[in-house]
Chain A
């Protein structure tokens, strides 16, 4: 059974960098697409970006200038960095696996990690 688990600080100060890691178990990270998705309190889902096992990435244009997603195949992990955060970045952050087929749906999700941006 594939499992994903987010980890990282739950509180980040404004203007600083949000960093989260997703640890994948039950499958090798050396296949599939691996995405980050966030959900502000009471709002909908927003795709942040993905990294393919080859290392190629693609980001939501609204966040592209501030986001970096990276991969550590030796640890079966991938990570998210979001710089210059503001209160608007407060959200539950999910990591998820995305299939390589034509539809690219998300079949496995982490439980989510609430990150609050506040001084």
Chain B
């Protein structure tokens, strides 16, 4: 089965840039989606199809995907960005959904 690997935690100072990676075998050939989950809340889609932003998501959120790594980039990080972030793909060969293990973003 397909596996997605995320770092457990990333820390960043306010105003700086946070990069959260999602590793997978040839993940660049798949569409990657990213979710933000704050404590006690359901996940929220922040990036889909590698780099598209849903309506209402700030332009500070961007995504890229190439080779074996997809990256969620958050520019000018704010305290309100502190959350868990999950990457997700659809494994077409098995028709299964796969989530990464999640990354806790801490704003220092």
Q: Which residues of A contact B (CB under 8 A)?
A: 35, 44-47, 50, 58, 60-61, 94, 98, 102-107, 109-112
Q: Are B43 and A58 in contact (CB under 8 A)?
A: no
B108 sits at the interface (CB 8 A):
no
Q: Are A104 and B42 in contact (CB under 8 A)?
A: no
Chain A residue with Cβ nearest B100: A44
Q: Which residues of B contact A (CB under 8 A)?
A: 1, 31, 33, 35, 41-45, 48-49, 54, 86, 88, 90, 95-102
User: Across the interface, which residues of A come within 8 angstroms of B48, CB to CB?
Assistant: 103, 105, 107
Q: Are B43 and A45 in contact (CB under 8 A)?
A: yes
Q: Are A103 and B102 in contact (CB under 8 A)?
A: no
Q: Are B99 and A45 in contact (CB under 8 A)?
A: yes
Q: Are B99 and A44 in contact (CB under 8 A)?
A: yes
Q: Could you tell me the distance between the alpha carbons of A111 and B54 in the complex, rounded to whole angstroms?
A: 19
Chain B residue with Cβ nearest A45: B99
Do A111 and B42 contact each other (CB < 8 Å), given the known contacts A44-B86, A102-B31, A105-B33?
Answer: yes
Q: Are B49 and A103 in contact (CB under 8 A)?
A: yes
Q: Are B33 and A58 in contact (CB under 8 A)?
A: no
Q: Are A44 and B102 in contact (CB under 8 A)?
A: yes
Q: Could you tell me the distance between the alpha carbons of A112 and B49 in the complex, rounded to whole angstroms?
A: 25
Q: Are B45 and A104 in contact (CB under 8 A)?
A: no
User: Across the interface, which residues of A come within 8 angstroms of B41, CB to CB?
Assistant: 111
- 9 closest Cβ contacts across the A-B interface? A103-B31, A105-B33, A104-B90, A47-B97, A109-B42, A44-B102, A45-B99, A105-B48, A44-B101
